[in-house]
Structure 1
């Protein structure tokens, strides 16, 4: 590149980049005429671009001032709120999801909020099926499941709960609008050993678990029955651990005791006449 700044050609001085930069630094937007598209900022243009779409808000495009077209006395103040608040009660405030109001049904009932791992119908007996996050998992109570234990039974579904959805389970209290089938008022219901989630009015016998669930309080037909839920496991001797003093009968224990008795009788017999009929008879009875 040939720098011709200041070099004379035909008696004229050449204008170079350094000359332009030097002179441009002395200019401002005031030195440059406004075009058609890129316009300069002015207060009037800015104010003209604003407009009010509410009759209660007055806008002066000349001054840029905003004002309300209402009486200042009509503003709602903290004092107004406090005054109005005093006229309200808890009956005026809707119940949230965490802080719940007291009422009789909540005192007389105990519910679980849980997530189903299979479809559960209203009135099905349900059992614990694990935990996920901060909530319980439930399924139909089923004697045949591997590792089933009576204490896994949690209660009766108060509503239909579809797979992977949440719903309420009554551990104590009433469950309404269910089909009580052929059951009658006053019938005591147990978990059916053969039907997952089902009831029976016949007390199960070992090896099945007798898990008492509810009593029928309203045997109305057409899915309009009511039961009063109250869980109670009725254990048999197979489910009650043996203590230290009151021991269960076993053949091995009997045989051991019989052997000890016979040993003592033999010792006694050695001291008496070997033809003693009473001692021999007693030994024969123990051996039977």
Structure 2
């Protein structure tokens, strides 16, 4: 008998069981199985299936089409918890095996992260974006200036950063990676993507520092992940994530940031601990 996935009709998400039916995790299983690669592939396929099911069931809620009822809030809570746990479990498993996530893994984990963020939004479980309340208000019309990744606090890198437009007059205006890539002239798109990934890596690397605040880490990663994911969707109405040619290596950064976000939030969200 092999370990198996439990993913019944009507169930939100999935979970692993051992051959005798006891609940377990992928991270535990890969350390004991003779074919751990097969388990990792099965985990990703199950996560992909659960995301497709969730988009059908909760698409209107995730897209902001209506306000959630009491039952909807319970379902959205179960959705983000199951998705977050699956992402963290995958990240810990591939780290244990010494594997690098490929583009397909990045696409599935990326879509899962986006769905988690969209599920938490109507539950008021998202913190402030970096530099919220500190940027200038943009005025109508074309804005001239230079896009840059602005760090919240260089002495505390776990606070993250965000893209801003610095105008010649010295104003700092909010900017997104999507706007930088598709609505701006003179942008080195590959360099912008690399700088964004470096910003995520900086937060992940500093998250373990003794004075790092998990809430700050979570807010920083939520924003950087959301900004990257919204700029890499298959289309304006799609949650499917695509990697540009030659950027498959970004999957490793994406998976690490997703895992660090869940780990940080688990310190103050007991629903994520199991």
The bucket for the TM-score relative to the shorter chain is: under 0.3
Q: Which has the larger radius of gyration?
A: 1
Relative to the length of structure 2, the TM-score reads 0.22
Hey, which of these two has a bigger chunk of helix by percent? 2
Relative to the length of structure 1, the TM-score reads 0.22
